[in-house]
Amino acid sequence: MERPPAYTELGRHIWDLFNLGCDPGFIRLDWKSKTCDGVEFGYCGKFGLESGRFAGNVSVGRPFSSRDLDVTSRWASDGTLGGRVDFYRLVRGVDLTFDAAFSPSTGNKLALARASLTRAALRVEAEANFEEVGTTATLSTVFRSGHWLMGAWTQLGGPNGVDTQWSGSAGYELGKRQLMVTIEGGRFLNLLMSQPFGPLDVAFSMAKPLPGVSDRVAHLADTVRKPWMLEPKRSQMRSTLGSDRCSLMMALAAKFQWGAHSTVTATVTFDGFLGLAFSHVLSPGIKLALCNSLNLNTLNSGGHAVGIGLEFES
């Protein structure tokens, strides 16, 4: 039986169906390379077509397989320096991660420590984030029984001192056929589901506030309205609801595998946003993605964006 994933990876296949492969409004370049002795180089750069601003980062990683250890260093275009050390299988099923970053221009510092325990049917993770504004502790667990998954996530601390947040998930997973239901803090209900039809994969997402929730409660408003910006991290799955029209948020996604090297993706939200994308493997290790987003509410007055993504891997 497959081991349970991390809590942040629950429903990952469904989230990926909402991913257009590039960001509308940006030109993105990704490059990965690996030397003969195992050193990994990575680069990611984004250029905003409207803002004219550029952002990027470079990473260098070296795995030490004999010691079950990975070391990675990072540099970002804003001057931020970072490093990460991953220890694998210190004890049976136990992994440790230490991450730190420093910005010389602002003096901001942050650190992260994570420990995970994985067994045949259970995965437990504990994480501590140390920032200048405060310390945050996160604990999550996922249990698998056959094709059924159940998970819980809680976060303590933050800038305001003692601030507790929690969520719970339950779902069914059978290959690409998945169903996931999540309750965020007893305030929001989120439903994710996907169904394959041969080369076509279809996904559905719905987020609804539970009775008695005020409009200031945060969750998934932006991500469901613009599904191509989805990022499956609980800390980034919250945004302030701005109006009553966001009380029920729904989105559909479809991804068609066109031959062995091309995919076509379409996403639509029920409040009038449409995303389209086409990706093609030009040659082994080179992939091109084209995407656009359309605001159907202002179809004749603008508010649309296009994006280009290019990936190199060697």
Percent residues over pLDDT 90 in the chain: 59
In this model, does residue 219 exceed pLDDT 60? no
pLDDT at position 238: 33
Q: Is pTM beyond 0.95 here?
A: no
pLDDT tens for each residue of 141-194: 999 999 999 999 999 886 666 678 899 999 999 989 999 999 987 778 899 999
Type of residue at 298: T
pLDDT at position 161: 60
Task: Count the alpha carbons within 13 Å of 158 in the hemisphere toward its beta carbon.
Answer: 10
Beta bridge partners of 179: 172, 193
* Rounded Cα distance, 170 and 172, in Å: 7
Per-residue confidence band for 246, with pLDDT thresholds at 50, 70 and 90: very low
In this model, does residue 39 exceed pLDDT 70? yes
Is 82 in contact with 99 (CB distance < 8 Å)?
Answer: yes
* Rounded Cα distance, 129 and 137, in Å: 6
Mean pLDDT score across all residues of the chain: 85
In this model, does residue 274 exceed pLDDT 60? yes
pLDDT tens for each residue of 54-76: 999 999 999 988 888 999 999 99
Beta bridge partners of 192: 180, 205
User: Tokens for 302?
Assistant: 């603008």
CATH number for the domain running over 7-313: 2.40.160.10
Is 205 in contact with 199 (CB distance < 8 Å)?
Answer: no
In this model, does residue 85 exceed pLDDT 50? yes
